[in-house]
Amino acid sequence: MRNIDIFDTTLRDGEQSAGINLNTAEKIEIARQLERFGATVIESGFPAASPGDFDAVQRIASTVKDSIVTGLARSVRSDIDSAWEALKGGVQPHLHIFLATSPIHMQHKLMKTPEEVVEIAVESVKYARKYFPLVEWSAEDASRSDPEFLAYIVRKVVEAGATTINLPDTVGYATPQEYGAMFRYIKETVPGIERVKLSAHCHNDLGMATANTLAAIENGADQIEGTINGIGERAGNVALEEIAVALHIRKQIYEVETNINLKEIKRTSEMVSQLTGSFIQPNKAVVGKNAFAHESGIHQDGMLKNPLTYEIITPELIGDASTQLVLGKHSGRHAFRDRAIQMGFELDDEKLNKAFAEFKKLADKKKEIVEADLFVLLTDQQISDKETPVYKLESVQVQYDTENIPTATVSVTRPAGEVVREATTGAGSVEAIFNTLERLVEEEAHILDYRVTSIGKGRDALGEAVINMTYAGEAVTGRDVAQDVLEATAKAYLNAVNRQLAKNHVQTEATITT
């Protein structure tokens, strides 16, 4: 069977989703999980975009060994130079260059003639090949490009040395028939196309990203690009877990294979959701919480007689088999460490001890600890950064009844080490907490979005708060968990502030180094 490469762009295209802002530690953790997931290529960021992006790409390239690490660059030498500095330490340096080819993009965005666009594309690929053994060239908005011009520019960049050609449906405009036909046309028209990989990159604006991607595979695509949980700009990208499972379940139709470890799907999906704060809709294919739920009496009856009547995908296939967490408040450190290793976590002694201490606190409060609880504790420790000074919540107290104005009293330790305390009112308990915290932090903050969800089941489930806000004029996302949702809210607010402080710290260090 033909093998299809999986190009994961969760850390680049996925992070461009509104409200998502990952720090370097979180990006490294996701990259390591994507490596376990089996991604052929991991697009780790856009090195020229910022010092933070450069640092993340460089560190991921030196960390990941079993997947190819790439970075994005515009068709300009400075971007390519920056990408090389970030990626040259990788096992197999790979560059992804893009340039728009549709009439509307060339005329109104690039303000270039088709001839000028071809010249820029060829020059950038030739320059990139001086450094990179692997160069992917993307025809941005390929699905709205003139077919003859698209074939011509593809031929020229292949001659210039491109090793992969990507034909994106950048705005999710194409239908499956149109998108598949474009791949077939390029395969049949461009001389030398058999020497390179053809890649598909589909957005979901019309809800056809999965169908379009499968159509590309049917018509000769060698690689597909997408994100975990389908996150991305606007309506998102194709969800890689959907493609991987579809190709597995309908193998007799597509007759292709991937190197994806299907049992890592659930863990990868949950990690991306948790660290990005991006909620997975309950009816989401493959990974939604209702994907294996059956409420209809007829469905339940069929499931009891034979699960295949209504379940074409099993929870076990994607690593979602129910497991009993045998750890409790009497469990020892050795058992806790073994469980962490089984779940794929690698913690040094200091972080393991901190996670174990938090586990003990939680075990004293909860009757039943589920694996989702442990996943949150271990992930938070694995991505923690003790080098950057932070605000730390010491206490939060809310006085509330239906006839009086809610009042929040909050105590925090500031980055300099002093403990400060404030009390303020609000229209509700949450607003009172926000108003109080706004007095305690040193820069202006505004809440853009806020939500709380439960982790696990039952009345003692952990609550996870996610806050999108601006701090010192910069958009940032914060998240945290606690059994009390008001405590989780306060901690998420400070997490957002601390993330911005850490980002500023990285940028300052980069400026000093430069």
CATH number at residue 447: 3.30.160.270
Regarding whether 210 and 136 lie in a shared domain, the answer is yes
> Whose CA is closest to 373, among 384, 361, 383, 385?
361
Cβ count within 10 A of residue 380:
19
Q: What is the pLDDT of residue 355?
A: 84
Residue at 286 is within a domain: no
**What span, in angstroms and rounded, lies between the C-alpha atoms of 47 and 403?**
54
Regarding whether 149 and 120 lie in a shared domain, the answer is yes
Residue at 285 is within a domain: no
Q: How many CA atoms lie within 13 A of 473 on its CB side?
A: 1
Residue at 281 is within a domain: no
Regarding whether 412 and 376 lie in a shared domain, the answer is no
> Whose CA is closest to 48, among 84, 73, 14?
73
Q: What is the pTM of this model?
A: 0.84
Regarding whether 414 and 372 lie in a shared domain, the answer is no
Regarding whether 205 and 73 lie in a shared domain, the answer is yes
Regarding whether 445 and 406 lie in a shared domain, the answer is yes
**What span, in angstroms and rounded, lies between the C-alpha atoms of 329 and 347?**
21
Q: Determine contact, residues 489/465, Cβ cutoff 8 Å.
A: yes
Q: What is the pLDDT of residue 111?
A: 97
Residue at 399 is within a domain: yes
Regarding whether 354 and 243 lie in a shared domain, the answer is no
Q: What is the pLDDT of residue 383?
A: 65
Regarding whether 487 and 438 lie in a shared domain, the answer is yes
Residue at 167 is within a domain: yes
Q: What is the pLDDT of residues 111-126, one digit of tens each?
A: 999 999 999 999 999 9
Token output for 364: 């004293």
Q: Determine contact, residues 507/500, Cβ cutoff 8 Å.
A: no
Regarding whether 309 and 187 lie in a shared domain, the answer is no
- Measured in whole angstroms, how far is the alpha carbon of residue 164 from the centre of its chain? 23
Regarding whether 498 and 473 lie in a shared domain, the answer is yes
* Structural domains counted in the chain: 4
CATH code of the domain in which 128 resides:
3.20.20.70
Regarding whether 229 and 115 lie in a shared domain, the answer is yes
Residue at 282 is within a domain: no
Helical ranges in 343-478 per DSSP H? 349-365, 371-382, 429-440
Can you give the residue range of the structural domain that contains 360?
333-382
Judging by beta carbons within 10 Å of its beta carbon (0-12, 13-18, 19+), is residue 166 exposed, middle or buried?
Answer: buried
**What span, in angstroms and rounded, lies between the C-alpha atoms of 31 and 13?**
14
Regarding whether 400 and 362 lie in a shared domain, the answer is no
By three-state DSSP, how is residue 110 classified? helix
Residue at 454 is within a domain: yes
**Grouped pLDDT means (10 residues each) for the chain, 514 residues:** 96 89 90 97 96 94 97 98 97 97 97 98 98 98 98 98 98 98 98 97 98 98 98 96 97 96 95 90 90 56 59 86 58 79 78 84 74 76 65 93 89 92 95 95 92 81 90 90 92 91 68 54
Residue at 283 is within a domain: no
